[in-house]
Amino acid sequence: MPRYETTRSRRRWRRRYRAKVRRLMAARSARMKITGFMGFSGVFIWAGFYFPGPSCAGAVTEPSRMYECGPVLHSMCWRSLHGLDFARKATAAAPRSLRPAGRFRPGSWPAVPAGRRLRGPRSGRSFIKELVKAGLPVVEATSFVSPRWVPQLSDAAEVLTELDDLTRHPVLVPNMRGLERARESGVKSVAVFVSATEAFARKNLNMSRASACETAAKVVTEAIKNGMTARGYVSMCFGDPWEGPVGTSAVAEVSRQLLDAGCYEISLGDTIGVATAGHVKALVEEHVQGGVPLERLALHFHDTYGQALSNVLAGIQSGVTCFDASTGGIGGCPFAGSATGNLAMEELLWLLHGLGINTGVDLEAVVRAGQTMTDFLNRPPSRIAQAMTG
């Protein structure tokens, strides 16, 4: 090829590249208004409630271990912490050339409702304090994941500043680097997350299930050495969009590994919301037969098929006394496309109060806090919130 044609081609490539960069930076500037908001985990806050015994009817006396709040990040995860289902709107209408590539696929960027702005970590702390004021004694505040993969959580350390008692605000950590950042921020309690299936472990954590369990065990061991407590989250406990139904024995095996590592509690997550009451009872029974004490189990449900509350009731009947829920029903997972919002905290509260269980939480205050968030995200409120607010 003649030299002048090569030079012309290079110049043409440079012009196209620069134009694309300008468009990308313009789109990124529009998203920056919400980046700080995504950095706090108020969106992904869960509430778990402890109460004595498996009774489902009649009044319940004052519990000794009454309730606890914290996200599954999340496995939730967050549990995961990746509760960004509402973010798909951000890239759905964008030109394909501007959509994030690789792990930042559509669903990884937050939507920016028109005319709405939040003030970063300060708004996150305000939301967390609202939930604490409502009566939730423990609120998992944020996640120390890699800013490279989840830039919305890059301000995790800032979120923790000005929070009164960090023993009441555990954080999610995926690896040793995340644990080190958490330790530097004065964190007193952490949570680790693993998958019950091989496929989701590779998609969510970019490693095999065995490697993920090994990493989680090292994190838990190191956290305990540093005077922290650790909770474990297991995702895809009832079904996997790539592998299908998940065997109860496979889930119990992962749970035992986390317990042996030193986790004080294991939360079993229905990441894509396919659990049924019968499956819940079978999974709990498998754990008990495998030597996992009931008091060290928690359940976390998504409401994809409208079964979350019936699954909670099945868990109560099986003897489980801790359940995770999300304020406003917000949640999901961009690495599991079929994962929808989580069981709303206010719906869980309504059920428990109806069973005579004293949670000590102000339902109306929780509804108000959740409504602020759903209004901002332009999401429909939960059914309980709709009924209570008219």
User: Annotated catalytic sites, by residue?
Assistant: 333
Could you report how far apart the first and last alpha carbons of the chain are, in Å? 72
Which pair of tokens denotes residue 103? 């792990």
Phi-psi region of 21 (alpha: psi -120 to 50; beta: other; left: phi over 0): alpha
**Residue in this structure with the two tokens 């967050």, named with its chain if needed:** 78
Q: 233 near 300, Cβ under 8 Å?
A: yes
How many whole angstroms separate alpha carbon 156 and alpha carbon 38? Answer: 10
How far apart, in whole angstroms, are the C-alpha atoms of residue 297 and residue 2?
71
CB 308 within 8 A of CB 301: yes
- Output DSSP code: residue 338: T
d(CA 244, CA 269): 15
Cα–Cα distance measured from residue 79 to residue 266, given in angstroms and rounded to the nearest whole number: 12
**Separation of alpha carbons 331 and 221, rounded Å:** 29
H/E element holding 239?
Answer: strand 239-240
Q: 18: number of CA atoms within 13 Å, CB side?
A: 6
Residue that the structure tokens 């690495």 belong to: 335
Instruction: Retrieve residue 182's tokens.
Output: 């958490």
Asked whether the beta carbons of 314 and 277 are under 8 A apart, the reply is: yes
